[in-house]
């Protein structure tokens, strides 16, 4: 049986990025609410856990793709980008855990770390999204 074509792979990549973009917006909203005290620790943790589950599903579904050999580097680049968002979720969960325990200085460091990782993810996400768009043309 033949593998997928370049165009099929790029369309699936585009869909993966679209699904990830939705999760990104949800993460940004939660972090904004955390910074402004508009969300409790439990509620934020539950929402982040749901996003983490969604990201795992997106990641594993995309990881299982069998791209054409000329698209392998793009496949790996997208997977690495998804990992950065997962790391952001972990850092933000750490922030919530430390905040709930009353460890303010440590919690603030984790919040900063999650914000930096989120910004790093946004840059990588934008770059890889542009690559997929260019290749699809």
Tokens of 126: 């934008």
CA 26 to chain centre: 10
pTM, rounded to two decimals: 0.90
The highest-confidence range among 2-6, 33-37, 49-53, by mean pLDDT, is 49-53
Query: How far lies 71's CA from each of 67, 85, 88, 130, in Å?
Result: 6, 22, 26, 15
pLDDT digits (tens, 9 = 90+) for 79-112: 999 999 999 999 999 999 998 898 989 988 988 8
CB count, 10 Å around CB of 8? 14
Check if the beta carbon of residue 92 is closer than 8 Å to that of residue 48.
yes
Task: Give pLDDT, residue 1.
Answer: 44
CA 83 to chain centre: 7
Average pLDDT estimate for 62-87: 95
pLDDT value at 34 more than 90: no
CA 36 to chain centre: 22
Average pLDDT estimate for 44-65: 95
Task: Give pLDDT, residue 111.
Answer: 85
Average pLDDT estimate for 14-30: 95
């Amino acid at each position: 049986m033949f593998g997928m074509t370049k165009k099929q792979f790029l369309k699936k990549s585009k869909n993966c990025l679209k699904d990830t973009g939705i999760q990104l917006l949800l993460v940004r909203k939660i972090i904004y609410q955390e910074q402004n005290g508009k969300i409790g620790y439990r509620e934020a943790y539950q929402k982040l856990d749901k996003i983490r589950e969604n990201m795992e599903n997106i990641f594993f579904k995309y990881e299982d793709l069998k791209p054409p050999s000329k698209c392998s580097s793009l496949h790996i680049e997208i997977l690495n980008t998804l990992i950065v968002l997962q790391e952001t979720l972990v850092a933000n969960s750490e922030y919530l855990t430390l905040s709930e325990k009353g460890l303010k200085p440590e919690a603030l460091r984790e919040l900063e770390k999650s914000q930096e990782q989120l910004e790093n993810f946004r840059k990588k996400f934008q770059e890889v999204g542009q690559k997929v768009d260019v290749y699809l043309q």
